[in-house]
């Protein structure tokens, strides 16, 4: 099974400052079709998860452009250019190349 490892596990950021979360997979996430199925989610307390980014770097509709995803093969990063109060919560990466596996999550606080 593919293991997804996120770091850091928690992050304290000042409003307006950038934030970055790393996600590493135990093997390449490049599918035989050439796509890389790496997704980022955000979950606020008491709410369902919300997808932010799919296929490494594509923002979902309605996601602010301060969120960006990058990376390739086994190393991926979610960046928030200027953290806002509504960004608190837990961020998860997830691979969908070989079945589905979530990272352990990264808690972001202000």
Partner 1 sequence: QAQLLQSGAEVKKPGASVRVSCKASGYNFMTYFMYWVRQAPGQGLEWVGWINPQSGGTKLAQKFQGRVTLTRDTSITTGYMDFNNLRPDDTAMYYCSRDLGDWGQGTLVTVSS
Nearest CA to 94 out of 32, 16, 5 is that of 5
Q: Assess contact for 25 and 74: CB atoms under 8 A.
A: yes
Q: Which is nearer to partner 1, 81 or 105 (CB)?
A: 105
Q: Give me the least distance between CB of 45 and partner 1, in Å please.
A: 11
Q: How much is the CA Rg of the chain, to the nearest whole Å?
A: 13
End-to-end Cα spacing for the chain: 34
Q: Give me the least distance between CB of 37 and partner 1, in Å please.
A: 10
Q: Give me the least distance between CB of 14 and partner 1, in Å please.
A: 26
Q: Which is nearer to partner 1, 74 or 95 (CB)?
A: 95
Q: Which is nearer to partner 1, 9 or 79 (CB)?
A: 9
Tokens 């400052």 sit on residue? 17
Q: Write out the residues near partner 1 by the rule CB under 8 A.
A: 1, 39, 41, 43, 48-51, 54, 60, 90, 92, 94, 96, 99-105
Tell me the three state secondary structure of residue 86: helix
């Amino acid at each position: 099974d593919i293991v997804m490892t996120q770091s850091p596990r928690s992050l304290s950021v000042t409003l307006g400052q950038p934030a970055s979360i790393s996600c590493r997979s135990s093997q390449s996430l490049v599918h035989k079709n050439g796509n890389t199925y790496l997704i980022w989610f955000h979950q606020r307390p008491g709410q369902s998860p919300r997808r932010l980014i799919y296929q490494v770097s594509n923002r979902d509709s309605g996601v602010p452009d301060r969120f960006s995803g990058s990376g390739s093969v086994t190393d991926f990063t979610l960046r928030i250019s200027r953290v806002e109060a509504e960004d608190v919560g837990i961020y998860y990466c997830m691979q969908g190349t070989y079945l589905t596996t979530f990272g352990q999550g990264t808690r972001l606080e202000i």
